[in-house]
Amino acid sequence: MDSQTQTPERPATNPPLGAQPPRQTERNPPPGAAPESLVFLAVVAIFAFIAIMVVAPSSQNSKFIVHQVPEGHVGAYWRGGALLDTITNPGFRLKFPFITQFEPIQVTIQTDLVRDIPCGTKGGVMITFEKIEVVNRLRKEYVYETLLNYGVHYDNTWIYDKIHHEINQFCSAHSLQQVYIDMFDQIDEKMKDALQTDCTRYAPGIEIISVRVTKPKIPDTIRRNFEQMEEERTKVLIAIERQRVAEKEAETEKKIALTEAEKHAQVSQIQMEQKLMEKESARRQEQIANEMYLAREKSLADADYYRAMKEADANKLKLTSQYLELKFIEAITNNSKIYFGDKLPNMIFNQRPLGSFLQDVQLEQNVKAEDHRNSS
């Protein structure tokens, strides 16, 4: 409640006709008192200022107490322009506002793009590398040392400026043919090795992972000459490939012909061997047949000889004078013809001389047969 006293309200009465109503007098507050709305606005303003100073995120502003270090970065701090040895990890961190400055430093892999690098070749031709990409990383344990020696923009010294220098050194030592065609595939590794060598010596925290160099831009007249040379080289390569294809085809046909000839030769050899085997089989069969025939004929001859010998032996036993006389008489008896003459009595009745002659003939035959058997 206010300190002013309130008078009780009186019932309103109608003023008399022609009279003016009484005026209400306003009472001003005392000089030391302030309206409630102004006090409330002042309190809200103070709390808002504090909240902004404490809670508002900041990456580079030094007016706030709380700041945020992004993931993949570390926090570096300067106080009065001097680098502090405090390196913070990602997350929310506190610092003195207006006094301490903060910078996030990336420690993950990053790609620095260097554009429009002019250089002159050994022959004096000016060319331009439109784009060179350098993939690098700053090691976390070398952040303080690197920032202390080369500042936040350390990559300007060891990547952007260094790549200009190395490209110009390389171009000045080689001809346009070498830079544009012959040794272009080696520029990436040469630039990487050159950058890493100096970084290892002077800024060991910088790691050069790879360098990607695009084709340089050369004058149009020279480019057309290179294109014509490439076309001629392509034609030569096409001709060489056609020649190789023709040689391969000829070699293939030759191999096919040799294979066919070998196949026919092998077939002919097999057929010849088959015929020889057939002839050999027929010869063997004939030889066996001849041997069988010879054996059979020899057996027959031996049988005939044996029969003749036996018959001779039998005849030898039969050739007696009595037997011969008997046979003679039987022959005369069986003869139907009778001859008469002076000699008939001698022929018929005197058979002794005939028997002796027959015995001599038989003896001679036996001797010859014995000699023949002994000689065989």
Averaged pLDDT, 259-266:
90
In this prediction, residue 22 has a pLDDT band, given cuts at 50, 70 and 90, of: very low
Coil, strand, or helix at residue 123? coil
Averaged pLDDT, 104-117:
93
Q: What is the predicted pLDDT for the residue at 338?
A: 57
Averaged pLDDT, 188-203:
93
pLDDT at 124 over 60: yes
pLDDT at 341 over 70: no
Neighbouring C-beta atoms of residue 13, cutoff 10 Å: 6
Residue 274 structure tokens = 């088959």
Beta strands in 91-222 (DSSP E): 91-94, 100-106, 110-120, 126-138, 206-213
pLDDT at 309 over 90: no
Q: What is the predicted pLDDT for the residue at 337?
A: 61
Tokens 């990336």 label which residue? 106
Lowest mean pLDDT among 65-74, 109-118, 140-149, 307-316: 307-316
Q: What is the predicted pLDDT for the residue at 2?
A: 40
Q: What is the predicted pLDDT for the residue at 3?
A: 39
pTM of the model: 0.49
Cα gap 191→241, rounded to integer Å: 36
Question: What are the tens digits of pLDDT across the range 206-242?
Answer: 999 999 999 999 888 888 887 888 888 888 999 999 9
Averaged pLDDT, 301-309:
88
Q: What is the predicted pLDDT for the residue at 8?
A: 42
* C-alpha separations of 375 from 157, 297, 299, 300 in Å: 132, 21, 19, 20
Q: What is the predicted pLDDT for the residue at 335?
A: 65
Cα gap 279→208, rounded to integer Å: 87
Express as a percent the part of the chain with pLDDT over 90: 41
Coil, strand, or helix at residue 210? strand
